[in-house]
Homo-oligomer: A and B are copies of this chain.
């Protein structure tokens, strides 16, 4: 194997391990996911999992959360860009999330929340990745709201409530196996935002 091909294959293995971990954490949480299952799902040997992640499951989970962070950021940006006006843009996000959640048969909710809840106060490296993910998502929404004419401090506060409401509504949608909690969150967030935009 020539060097560029080898580099690509190595990058491919690491990437497969991170993706498999992210999906497993999203669907069954941190405690229910073992390194052996990750290696199986990623089509990688246990040896290569520990080669790339010598810190084991915590290091792997932190990296998977950074992957989930970027995955959710892509959805947020796509949703926000798909409608005119700040209230409509946030409602478009909830509609997009509802479609994606239904398409996964209500399995693929927030990629970080289950792991975050399972490890509160018990895994600093994971907690840091979770806190960064939340901060990143809030920043994306805050920037969009501010660019739509809402004052910076109001935009930052609203962004925090938008992300928290999306988390709560997504959980409810999963429990109810219904898009309605997300659509309702969209309507109420739009109504709240329009009291600032007006």
Contacts and interface: CB of A to CB of B under 8 A. Distances in A.
Contact of A166 (B109, B121, B157, B168): B168
Interface residues of A, number: 46
B116 A175 contact: yes
Nearest to A138: B172
A113 B9 CA distance: 39
B134 A120 contact: no
A162 to B, nearest CB: 10
Interface stretch (A24-32, A82-90, A139-147): A24-32
Contacts of A30: 31
Given A160-B184, A161-B165, A107 B131 contact: no
Interface centre among A28, A175, A191, A195 (most CB of B within 10 A): A175
A175 B127 contact: yes
A114 interface: yes
Interface in A72-117: 105-107, 109, 113-114, 116-117
A114 to B, nearest CB: 4
